[in-house]
Chain A
Amino acid sequence: MILHQLIDYETLRLIWWLLLGVLLIGFAVMDGFDLGTQILLPFVASDDLDRRVVINAVGPVWEGNQVWLIVGGGAIFAAWPPLYAVSFSGFYLAMFAVLAALILRPVGFKYRSKRDSQRWRSGWDWALFVGGIVPALIFGVAVGNVLQGVPFHLDQDLRIFYDGTTLVELLNPFALLCGALSVAMLTMHGASWLILRTSRAVAWRARRLGTFAALATFALFALGGVWVSDVDGFRFASQIVTDAPSNPLTKVVEQGPGFWFANYAAYPWMMAAPVLGFAGTLFMLLFCFLRREVLTLLASGLSVLGIIATVGLAMFPFILPSSVDPRSSLTVWDASSSHLTLFVMLVATGILLPLIVLYTTWVYRVLWGKVDAKQISSGDGHAY
């Protein structure tokens, strides 16, 4: 195979870094409103019918949305194997908590309304709440830890060793701030979805809680920005080679405060990301106030995009820095798959991703409109 030489290794790595962002942001935007809806479930609906309206607002689509996470995981495995290996095993117990929470989700949706018992149903409501808030919190906490560096090192065989990551250490103040931001952001996004898909009391409560969540998102994002200046960032101290074989141990890295702002100083256009993060929440509030439902959802989605992109751009080219052995840090230039694999995966993604967007759009169009409470109570066996 020589076809893959058409695109050089450096460009492919850059494209796959962007695609990593696309998939993670795709997950946060698409599945984010499902998670947010689950967080809101106990608070926007009091009686059983209303709760079923909330669940059916995400019922037909959450399953497809969750695939963004699965594909995200698969793409990290395929395009960034060391990242997959280090992060998934490094955050082992946190990942377990996420998995346990995510297992609760499908069964909660599907099984809740299969029995007509108050205890059964309210049990599943709280399971769904846990299934929403735990992943939201942990993903945020994980990002907070990545920004500070994760305590791992690689040996000569590139075997991975952890130097005492306990669950408690992961829960440091800055990481918890990031976790809170993540929860607020996805709650805002979930509220925007519910405003669009529901009516009357549920929509009214979603509007009120969504407003609080948007304000919290704005405040926590701002606070996070200030706090990051105090966090030790990472940068290359040796020449950057962008097309060498993927081996993280060939570089020298240094740590210091303010390094995470260096990209924004060097490339001011990158400021578009944080600006979008802030502006998105403000526009979400504005459109929510103006009762423009579609625009509300769009604004909160853009805010999610802006906030996640802010982190990614700040760290570039770092993906997963190591706090105990900085040269083990994984970067765009030394933690990717081989040239050929990146190319093959790009071709596959280039063909399949547009198809996915196409049929997902079609499915959303078919399902467009408010959830009909009457239809749920009429007992068509297929609604959740």
Chain B
Amino acid sequence: MDLNIVDLSRLQFAITVLYHFLFVPLTIGLSVLIASMETVYVMTGREIWRQMTKFWGVLFGINFVLGAATGIVMEFQFGMNWSYYSHYVGDIFGAPLAIEGLMAFFLEATFVGLFFFGWDKLSKLGHLAATWAVALGSNFSALWILIANGWMQNPVGAVFNPQTMRMEVEDFAAVVFNPVAQAKFVHTVSAGYVVASIFVLGVSAWYLLKGRHTALAKRSMTVAASFGLASSLSVVVLGDESGYLSTEHQKMKLAAIEAMWHTEPAPAAFTLVGLPDNTERKTHYAVHIPWVMGVIGTRSLTSEIPGIHDLVDLAETRIRQGIVAFDALQAIRKAGSSEAIPSDAAAAFEDTGHYLGYALLLRPYLDDPREASDAQIRQAAWDTVPHVPTLFWAFRTMVGLGFFFIVLTATFVYLSARHRLDRHRWLLKVAVGAIPLPWIAAECGWIVAEVGRQPWVIEGVLPTAAAVSDLGAATVLSTIAGFTVIYTILFIIETKLMLAAIRKGPEKDNSPNQKLVPDALAPAE
């Protein structure tokens, strides 16, 4: 594969976002867990809960700085590497990013200083408010980012303006209340809670295995297991809602996830495992479960889910309409003033304008889509199929792990209720081993959502290939190298500091009356 500017820019974006997303889910989830712990402290006055808040707060802080640092790169690289994208959809896409800063990140970043430095300067309630402000801020942040991302998946409320050559917002409420964005928000935030819960659960299990800080570890486990069970149930159910919405808005993504090459009679079977082959366009050794896919995808037994071949045919007709739109657009722009626009061009654009983006799919083959041959159109139509094996496996990894988290957290909720958290050492070992798994699930989730949208950067509106900046391959290659080096070094340092902080454990508590009172939530020792 020769590396062109589009592939390189995508690679850099993927590195940046996957790296950023190592820190973000933990920030989202841990902030809420910490705020909950501190709430218990303020309500009961028990010192151990303050100790827990502070201890998990140290780990939160180490993680938070890298999330914040890489977040700036995220925001800036749209302009740096995707300048035509920024011009083309900035009118809509920029607003949620700006509001995220104003509403969420200011709140989070301003109060995170107070969380760490304000213990002696604030009343108990004042400090609790600061902690909740951080938690609220990081969750709001996810909301606006997913409104922006939801619009990339389902671009509602906007229309192309030939005079400014870009998409412009028509209905801002539709952008904010985009059903895809709302489903994604709850799904992603829940995923963050799962990441944090399994993290707290695993670290606490390690303490129990070592017989250290057992009071803190048991209470932390109880909180994490119940929080984790609720959120992993939510992440699976809401993930299913995302799947249902894809049926409506991103049929190709769904078909690719299922490696469904041909439309099947309803209700379609779910392919449990198999080896999808992108070149032969079929799935080898597939194991099917009848009916399941049809029910998940359409919530009915009679609606069909279209397969990849049919969707490619559909894309082909849309490309042809897109060419009509492109032709009409040239006439409209040549006319200059709005009075001079020929009426047939205006009517044609009115009819087909929403498929303009499909004409741009031909740009990698030739500059003027109107001169495309049938073969080129067919090829461009096949370009609308994302990489099936990637999606197929990323999705199955994510879902499989999701069910595992439900079982794991449910087990520990049960053990906690029976006061047997430290009874089964092998279960504690499983919990320690499970620490990295939610991250894998979360990264797979990003891959499903974003690779599944290819070749579009804005579904049906702007192809990824048309969105890049006019930069040299060497330039982008050098920044990829630069970011990779910086990220790798920081990742190693971060991990080492995390492990050191975990090994060191919570601070010794100075207050005399910290003799552990039996707590309602965890057994006394």
Contact A114 B113 (CB under 8 A): no
Minimum Cβ distance to chain B for residue A13 (Å): 14
- Rounded to whole angstroms, the CA-CA distance of A58 and B66 in the bound complex is 18
A99-B470 CB under 8 A given contacts A84-B86, A363-B111: no
Contact A99 B72 (CB under 8 A): yes
Q: Which of B86, B126, B164, B475 contacts A246 (CB 8 A)?
A: B164
Stretch at the interface among A214-222, A317-325, A346-354: A346-354
Name the residue of chain B whose CB is nearest to the CB of A56.
B117
Q: Which of A60, A71, A344 contacts B116 (CB 8 A)?
A: A60
Residues of B within 8 A of A87 (CB): 79
Residues of B within 8 A of A360 (CB): 106, 110
Q: Which of B109, B116, B490, B493 contacts A64 (CB 8 A)?
A: B109
Residues of A within 8 A of B166 (CB): 81, 158
Q: Which of A76, A102, A246, A352 contacts B72 (CB 8 A)?
A: A102
Q: Mark A142-170, 1 if CB is under 8 A from B, else 0.
A: 00000000000000111111100000000
Stretch at the interface among A89-97, A200-208, A298-306: A89-97
Minimum Cβ distance to chain A for residue B226 (Å): 28
Contact A85 B109 (CB under 8 A): no
Contact A78 B80 (CB under 8 A): no
Contact A359 B469 (CB under 8 A): no
Contact B163 A247 (CB under 8 A): yes
Minimum Cβ distance to chain B for residue A50 (Å): 19
- Rounded to whole angstroms, the CA-CA distance of A144 and B305 in the bound complex is 58
Q: Is the C-beta of A82 less than 8 angstroms from some C-beta in chain B?
A: yes
Stretch at the interface among A272-280, A281-289, A333-341: A333-341
Contact B110 A67 (CB under 8 A): yes
Q: Is the C-beta of B214 less than 8 angstroms from some C-beta in chain A?
A: no
Contact A81 B65 (CB under 8 A): no
- Rounded to whole angstroms, the CA-CA distance of A88 and B468 in the bound complex is 12
Q: Which of B80, B97, B113 contacts A367 (CB 8 A)?
A: B113
Contact A105 B79 (CB under 8 A): no
Name the residue of chain B whose CB is nearest to the CB of A120.
B493
Minimum Cβ distance to chain A for residue B132 (Å): 13
Q: Is the C-beta of A70 less than 8 angstroms from some C-beta in chain B?
A: yes
Name the residue of chain A whose CB is nearest to the CB of B95.
A78
Minimum Cβ distance to chain B for residue A347 (Å): 10
Contact A382 B110 (CB under 8 A): no
Contact B90 A84 (CB under 8 A): yes
Q: Is the C-beta of A265 less than 8 angstroms from some C-beta in chain B?
A: no
Minimum Cβ distance to chain A for residue B420 (Å): 33
Q: Which of B71, B94, B497 contacts A111 (CB 8 A)?
A: B497
Contact B69 A106 (CB under 8 A): yes
Q: Is the C-beta of B350 less than 8 angstroms from some C-beta in chain A?
A: no
- Rounded to whole angstroms, the CA-CA distance of A239 and B264 in the bound complex is 62
Q: Is the C-beta of A226 less than 8 angstroms from some C-beta in chain B?
A: no
Contact B79 A85 (CB under 8 A): yes
Stretch at the interface among B168-176, B250-258, B285-293, B380-388: B168-176
Q: Is the C-beta of A42 less than 8 angstroms from some C-beta in chain B?
A: no
A352-B95 CB under 8 A given contacts A61-B113, A107-B490, A160-B470: no
Contact A106 B470 (CB under 8 A): no
Minimum Cβ distance to chain B for residue A252 (Å): 16
Give the interface size class of chain A.
35 or more
Q: Mark B100-121, 1 if CB is under 8 A from A, else 0.
A: 1111011101111110111101
Residues of B within 8 A of A63 (CB): 68, 109-110, 112-113
Name the residue of chain A whose CB is nearest to the CB of B176.
A344
Contact A359 B110 (CB under 8 A): yes
Q: How many residues of chain B get a CB closer than 8 Å to chain A's CBs? A: 80
Residues of A within 8 A of B206 (CB): none
Q: Mark B76-97, 1 if CB is under 8 A from A, else 0.
A: 1011110110110011111101
Q: Which of A92, A106, A366 contacts B66 (CB 8 A)?
A: A106
A105-B69 CB under 8 A given contacts A341-B92, A366-B121: yes
- Rounded to whole angstroms, the CA-CA distance of A75 and B118 in the bound complex is 31
- Rounded to whole angstroms, the CA-CA distance of A75 and B325 in the bound complex is 32
Contact B106 A67 (CB under 8 A): yes
Minimum Cβ distance to chain B for residue A344 (Å): 5
Residues of A within 8 A of B109 (CB): 63-64, 66-67
- Rounded to whole angstroms, the CA-CA distance of A359 and B69 in the bound complex is 23
Q: Which of A79, A81, A382 contacts B86 (CB 8 A)?
A: A81
Residues of B within 8 A of A111 (CB): 62, 65, 493, 497
Instruction: Please give me the 9 A-B residue pairs with the lowest Cβ-Cβ distance, nearest first.
Output: A81-B90, A88-B79, A78-B94, A77-B94, A60-B113, A74-B98, A64-B110, A71-B101, A106-B65
Interface residues of A (CB under 8 A from B): 1, 59-64, 66-67, 69-71, 73-79, 81-82, 84-89, 92-93, 95-96, 99-100, 102-103, 105-107, 109-111, 114-115, 156-162, 245-247, 337-338, 340-341, 344-345, 348-349, 352-353, 356, 359-360, 363, 366-367, 380-383
**A337-B168, A344-B172, A352-B102 known; 20 other A-B pairs, CB under 8 Å?**
A60-B117, A63-B110, A64-B110, A70-B72, A74-B100, A77-B86, A81-B94, A84-B90, A85-B86, A88-B83, A89-B83, A92-B469, A93-B478, A99-B72, A107-B490, A107-B493, A159-B87, A341-B92, A356-B106, A360-B106
Contacts A/B (CB < 8 Å), 7 sampled: A64-B112, A106-B69, A245-B161, A341-B168, A348-B103, A359-B110, A367-B117
